[in-house]
Amino acid sequence: MLILELFTMPSLGSLASEALIIVAAALVLFLVFSVGRSLIRFIVGLLVNTILGLAALYLLDQYLGAAIPMKAPELAATIIFGLAGVGTMLILKVTGVF
């Protein structure tokens, strides 16, 4: 019983405790929306970059005959880096390194 008394908060006035709850809820909502918005923006940008990279890889293979193999490492680079990954693989293919 003594341990429970140590962890209980002292009684504030009802107005002060309600104000504290409202301020805490507003802070939590602000953090959720600010972090959530930037996270959604990041995910959408990553998806667009991935789709553009995969489309460029397909177009290079089908219409220009770049013959970049569609294996797991190449697809992983395209998914992660998008157009920059495809451009790097194309440069490596043209110079004979890849």
- Please tell me the predicted confidence (pLDDT) of residue 15: 67
User: Hey, how many other C-beta atoms are within 10 angstroms of the C-beta on 54?
Assistant: 17
- pLDDT (tens digit, 9 = 90+) per residue, 36-46? 778 788 888 88
- pLDDT (tens digit, 9 = 90+) per residue, 7-53? 555 555 566 677 778 888 888 878 777 777 787 888 888 899 999 98
- Tell me, what amino acid is at 83? L
79 to each of 9, 53, 63, 82, 95, how far by Cα in Å?
A: 51, 7, 21, 6, 23
pTM assigned to the model: 0.58
Structure tokens at 86: 């495809």
